């Protein structure tokens, strides 16, 4: 194991070898035994881990208070059921209409476009020509 690889693993997993990939642990221990720089890097990583262990994120007191109030309002022994949000009819209808419009548009577009994949039709003509709307004067 190189010192650079050792540093990468220290940065990724910290100083506790239990968190390291099992395949890397023995090589790291051997490097620590022979390299003073590796021992110094490990000591620095241990200091950083200790500092990180001291950090406690600030609690969200308002959320805790609301949760405790809600839980206190539930009678002892009561069962609480959680229901998934239901899809309302207007939303379902809008979703179905959007889906149908997309399918219809795809079908119409595929019928109007020439079969360019088989060498039939001209891509430039498709873009510049009015196609089926030409007869309508549009």
Report yes or no on 10 lying in a domain.
yes
Report yes or no on 63 lying in a domain.
no
Give 124 or 45, the one with higher predicted confidence: 45
pLDDT in tens, 82-132: 666 666 778 778 888 998 988 888 777 666 655 555 555 555 455 555 555
Q: How many domains does the chain have?
A: 2
Report yes or no on 74 lying in a domain.
no
Report yes or no on 17 lying in a domain.
yes
Report yes or no on 68 lying in a domain.
no
Report yes or no on 105 lying in a domain.
yes
How far apart CA 26 and CA 23 sit, in angstroms, is 7
pTM of the model: 0.43
Report yes or no on 65 lying in a domain.
no
Let me know: does 2 contact 37? Beta carbons within 8 Å.
no
Closest Cα partner for 31 from 5, 58, 59, 69?
A: 5
Residue range of the domain that includes 44: 3-54
Mean pLDDT over 3-16 rounds to 94
């Amino acid at each position: 194991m190189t010192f650079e690889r050792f540093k990468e693993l220290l940065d990724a997993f910290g100083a506790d070898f239990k968190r390291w990939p099992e395949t890397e642990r023995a090589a790291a221990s051997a490097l620590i035994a022979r390299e003073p720089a590796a021992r110094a890097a490990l000591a620095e990583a241990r200091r950083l881990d200790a500092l990180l262990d001291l950090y406690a994120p600030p609690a969200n007191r308002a959320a805790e208070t609301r949760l405790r109030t809600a839980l206190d309002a539930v009678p002892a022994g009561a069962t609480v059921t959680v229901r998934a949000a239901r899809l309302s009819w207007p939303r379902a209808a809008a979703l179905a209409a959007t889906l149908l419009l997309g399918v219809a548009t795809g079908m119409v577009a595929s019928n109007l476009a020439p079969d360019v994949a088989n060498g039939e039709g001209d891509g430039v003509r498709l873009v510049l020509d009015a196609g089926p709307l030409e007869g309508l004067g549009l």
